[in-house]
Amino acid sequence: MICVRNRKERKEFEEVDLKNMRLFNKYCRYRRLFAKFSKNPRNSGRSLELKAETAETFEYYTVSRHSCSNSNKEIIPLIELHWFLARTKVNRLYLNRCDRRNLWNIVDAIDSIRPDIRHVSVECGKHLQFELDDISKIEKSNFFDSDASYIAVKSCPFVVETLTIEKFRETTRWSIGYLDEKQISKLPQAVVRYISVDKGHINLREFLQVSYFIFDNLHMALNRQ
């Protein structure tokens, strides 16, 4: 039901997307009225009938009540993410199963309107791996300023370059699927407070050196407080 368009596509399909968004707003009003009517004790028997039924889905609503057909084929109108976020209050946003291209299309749509989203979680795991050219995008993106509280990726080839981005210092927890010995040894340089690594390998001597460095820095930080 939700689609993501790039900037060129948003301009091309603007008229259609706004029409679909108006239809979605009508559906939201229908659902609110349905909920209000079904909870009203004055409706007694009718209320019980409504509770026994399921409110129409958006798909059924558009096909049954509005003209959404082409060549005798039912078409469910797509809601474009940019317009959806611009006209809908969203408190929490969870992104999963996104590869790099899809993620940046979504981030671009969000950055273009700067909605007030209180909590964002990017849980893409094995589907996402940040590359070197993503670093400058992250630094410029308003989306990553304070919204993204949790990021899970397949791997992070450029550990130091990515995890030393200043905007990740206070607000972001990272989960990384795999790091090799060299990458793990660089983790103490990260500014991110919370990092978990699902899989990786490092020899015992390197591990002890890294652990000592981390705990030594932690001790110094606690003393300063």
pLDDT value of residue 220: 39
Summarize pLDDT for 200-209 with one digit per residue, the tens: 776 666 666 6
Residue 43, pLDDT score: 52
Task: Tell me the range of 116-120, 195-199, 216-220 where mean pLDDT is highest.
Answer: 195-199
Q: What percentage of the chain carries pLDDT values higher than 70?
A: 73
pLDDT in tens, 170-194: 777 888 888 888 888 887 778 887 8
How far apart are the C-alpha atoms of 144 and 165, rounded to whole Å? 10
Percent of the chain exceeding pLDDT 90 equals: 1
Token pair of 220 as six digits: 């110094």
Reduce the DSSP state of residue 74 to 3 states and report it: strand
Strands 69-70 and 73-74: antiparallel
pLDDT of residue 209: 65
Point out which residues pair with 125 in neighbouring strands.
153
- 24-73 residue pLDDT tens: 888 888 877 777 766 655 554 444 444 434 567 777 777 766 555 444 45
- The ranges assigned to domains in the chain are 2-79, 90-224
DSSP code at position 130? -
Closest CA to 18 of 80, 60, 90: 80
Specify the range with the lowest mean pLDDT, choosing from 104-113, 132-141, 198-207: 198-207
Tokens, residue 166: 């200043």
- To the question of domain 90-224 being in CATH 3.80.10, the answer is yes
CA atoms within 13 A on the CB side of 30: 15
Look up residue 151 and give its two tokens.
């990021």
pLDDT at site 70? 47
